[in-house]
Amino acid sequence: MFKMSEYTFVAAALCLGLASLIYLAYAVSGLRAGMLRTAGGPGGASSTVTFASGPYTSELGRYGTIIGWLAMVTLTVSLIFRTIATGHGPFANMYEFSIAFAWGILVAYYWFERRYSQRILAVVAMPVALGLMLYAVTIPSTIEPLVPALQNNLLLTIHVAVAIVAYGSFTVGFGAALLYLVQPEQGRWGLPKPKILEEIGYRAIVVGFPFLTLTVILGAVWAEVAWGKYWSWDPKETASLLTWLIYATYLHARVVRGWRAKRAAWLLMLGFAATLFTYFGNLYFGGLHSYAGLAQ
């Protein structure tokens, strides 16, 4: 089972790398077409809300999606094999959590791709997922027994699984905000219109925010059971609260004049930075969550 999970992990990483390249080619092809169009070339004025299209753009996008799906499926299989091999959810150390995070990004991305058909977001989401997979490669994948604090299969599984959904959604929100910020109000280079990106960003947080809330609450429940205190201002707890506060601000900012648009998009960028800070933080400042770091 362990071997199978390793093989499928490598397959998933390769698919993800390939999908990233294809999506990149898709973006380049579309951007070239978009620039031609802005320059008054063929295509003319188009009110399309989807990405601009060159001769190979849609073809490339379709292949990117197929390979990306393949990556998601193989990664799912890999996580299932690893779960069977270890006997607990694949969330117990930085290796497992990195793969699960990448998986969360893929799931969140494809959910949004199906709903909004904005493949250009993959240019941001796929490399982030790939980066996490490559990071996982640098960590030993050996299976070790759970330290006593983690020996709570139910809470380990749901506390982290819920976090994965939140983090995946926030990555999509980050992608939307990034594409929003690189273009002016009216749109540029045939990129998706700012309005639709704004909506995708909001949807991503609407999904991710309740999940982050649940992550923090379940973390408090678990902390009470394992450590005797539901809140200890442990660095990881604090960082997740910080992330939560930023996204809470974002949700409120959207209804205040002057905070819409650019400032809201910046809050999404800040929120994603806080997400990464929460995720990697325990490697640097120890605390009660430090067992989740590297065993060495």
- Binding site residues, other proteins, CB under 8 A: 116, 144-145, 147-149, 151-152, 196, 199, 202-203, 206, 209-210, 213-214, 217, 220-221, 224-230, 233, 235, 238-239, 241-242, 245-246, 248-249, 252-253, 255-256, 259, 274, 277, 281, 285, 295
Quick one: 29 or 50, whose CB is closer to other proteins? 50
Task: Report d(CA 68, CA 12) in Å as an integer.
Answer: 9
Quick one: 20 or 118, whose CB is closer to other proteins? 118
Give 141-144's long-range contacts (Cβ < 8 A, gap of 24+): 141/6, 141/9, 141/95, 143/2, 143/85, 143/86, 144/93, 144/295
Quick one: 101 or 244, whose CB is closer to other proteins? 244
Quick one: 246 or 268, whose CB is closer to other proteins? 246
Structure token pair of residue 113:
């791709």
Task: Report d(CA 51, CA 118) in Å as an integer.
Answer: 7
CB of 15 to other proteins, least distance (A): 30
Q: Name the amino acid, one letter, at 208.
A: G
Quick one: 73 or 161, whose CB is closer to other proteins? 161
Q: Is 284 exposed, middle or buried (0-12, 13-18, 19+ CB in 10 A)?
A: exposed
CB of 265 to other proteins, least distance (A): 15
44, 45, 50, 52 alpha-carbon torsion, rounded to 10°: 30
CB of 96 to other proteins, least distance (A): 16
Quick one: 121 or 133, whose CB is closer to other proteins? 121
Quick one: 76 or 141, whose CB is closer to other proteins? 141
Task: Report d(CA 155, CA 74) in Å as an integer.
Answer: 26
> Could you tell me if 34 and 178 are in contact, meaning their C-beta atoms sit under 8 angstroms apart?
no
Task: Estimate the share of the chain in helix, then strand, then coil, as percent rounded to the nearest 5.
Answer: 75, 0, 25
Quick one: 10 or 256, whose CB is closer to other proteins? 256
CB of 40 to other proteins, least distance (A): 29
Task: Report d(CA 203, CA 260) in Å as an integer.
Answer: 15
CB of 244 to other proteins, least distance (A): 9
CB of 190 to other proteins, least distance (A): 18
Q: End-to-end CA distance of the chain, in Å?
A: 24
Task: Report d(CA 223, CA 182) in Å as an integer.
Answer: 41
